[in-house]
Amino acid sequence: MVDKVFTGTVVLPDRMIDNGYVLVGDGKVQAVGAGPAPAGESHGGPDYLVMPGAIDGQVHSRSQLGQEDFIWSTRTAASGGVTTIVDMPYDDGCLIATAERFNTKVREAGAQARVDFALYATIDPEEGPARVDELVDAGAAAFKFSTFGTHPKRFPRITPQLLYKAFCAVGRRGLMSGIHNENDEMVRAFIAEVEASGATDYTAHGKSRPPVTEALATAEVYELGVAAGCPVHIVHCSIGRGYELSASYRAQGHDSTIEACIHYLILDEDNDVRRLGGKAKINPPLRPRREVEALWHHLAAGNVTIVSTDHVSWSEDRKTDPNMLKNASGVPSLEVLYSLLMKGLDERKLPLTHAARLLAHNPAALFRISHQKGALALGRDADITLMRRDPHRYSAAASGNCFVTWSPYEGIELPFRTVGTYVRGECVASDGKVLAEPGSGRFVRPPEWAVQAKH
């Protein structure tokens, strides 16, 4: 295989290398340096940014039967510079809570994926944590639990006492537990109040899930994690208070991490939910602009562990009900994750090194796959995203790489364009055209030494 050389400004988690290069051979990074590049097939150039391929730590590829699958979610990922997705365990009609279901999903996703993928697992509340070990042995990268019951079978609530038992089982194997953080009793009470008031407009959703419902659930699960000896990760936080709690627990020596979905960094209630209605309904809700800026403050301060999408491609009819509360929650955003984060960093004059850390280095560590993924470093997979400054307006319909043609980011101006995505050194997308065929992506799992049971 001919060596490839990627040249431009190399962006690492801790520094940027001007006039830099990344040498790739046999699908791995062979060298990173500055100055004259080694011989090899040349990619990039002086005006390019050489970025690590993004790891999106929160993707729902199969949340609605007959809609998106891995063929489409990974096509969208490739077009936007995402080289690995971590898929959630709440498939429509199939809770990924047994090794048999997990292995079936690995096979089915492997036949469809165009980029690499890792998988969350979960538990069935009727069984408890009995199958945690078999799911770890099958290759789960993390476990996902919800403190709110979205659906009793597909997306069930896990009670505090059961969470504690699950945390004990997961912590013993060295993996983290990711939490959907909304207090069930409080949310249901607030929903009832909003419904009784007759409110159905764009403000109804935020009123039904006020910030205290997030903060309370966040504090509860961190305490359970401390007691159980389990790393606990908040998979989406829309309020500054959540990042304060996370930083406080880490300062006390606990493995308590937290995730900012890209929509919480870009969209707000007053402008975007007002304009988009159900197409901007997300759980937890989008908040006022002051919370958006609070999140950027925490990002700059190092209090955000990773940035993700929580990507889901609901059919348009499930996002356009005039009654805000009746719409499905979640939005598609895989194609623009990288570009949106770069936009926010650029506008606030924050170092682009944040992108390398939040989209690659930290997710790889969180999901225990940093032996293989997440860095432009010797011996790691050559997952590379080439970008350049090229202001343009985004259109999901025009790109042709998304299963749905609607997006909450339709028409947004992006200062950077993804011009090339490489997985293990192979080009999977170029100038918006996806080249990888279904089945070319690989399943990624934590190494055995990382998940050996602790006694």
The set of residues, in sequence order, having a beta carbon less than 8 Å from that of 357 and lying 6+ positions away, is 13, 14
What's the count of helices (H) and strands (E) in the chain, helices before strands? Answer: 15, 18
Joined tokens for residue 405: 């043609």
Q: pLDDT tens for residues 133-185? A: 999 999 999 999 999 988 777 789 999 999 999 999 999 999 999 999 999 99
Residue 351 to residue 353: CA distance in whole angstroms = 5
pTM of the complete model: 0.97
Instruction: List the pLDDT tens digit at each of the 455 positions of the chain.
Output: 679 999 999 999 999 999 999 999 999 999 999 999 999 999 999 999 999 999 999 999 999 999 999 999 999 999 999 999 999 999 999 999 999 999 999 999 999 999 999 999 999 999 999 999 999 999 999 999 999 988 777 789 999 999 999 999 999 999 999 999 999 999 999 999 999 999 999 999 999 999 999 999 999 999 999 999 999 999 999 999 999 999 999 999 999 999 999 999 999 999 999 999 999 999 999 999 999 999 999 999 999 999 999 999 999 999 999 999 999 999 999 999 999 999 999 999 999 999 999 999 999 999 999 999 999 999 999 999 999 999 999 999 999 999 999 999 999 999 999 999 999 999 999 999 999 999 999 999 999 999 998 86
SS3 52: strand
SS3 58: strand
Q: Quick one: DSSP state of residue 310?
A: -
The set of residues, in sequence order, having a beta carbon less than 8 Å from that of 345 and lying 6+ positions away, is 351, 352, 354, 355
Beta bridge pairs of residue 236: none
How many CA atoms, within 13 angstroms, populate the side-chain half-sphere of residue 201? 6
Give the helix ranges, DSSP H, for 237-375.
240-251, 262-266, 274-276, 289-301, 337-347, 353-356, 362-366
pLDDT at 1: 60
Concatenate the DSSP letters of all residues of 172-213 into one string: HTT--EEEE---HHHHHHHHHHHHHHT--STHHHHHHS-HHH
* CA 233-280-349 angle, 5° bins: 65
Residue 96 to residue 217: CA distance in whole angstroms = 23
**Beta strand spans in 342-406 (E):** 384-393
At the fourth CATH level, the homologous superfamily of domain 53-374 is Metal-dependent hydrolases (3.20.20.140)
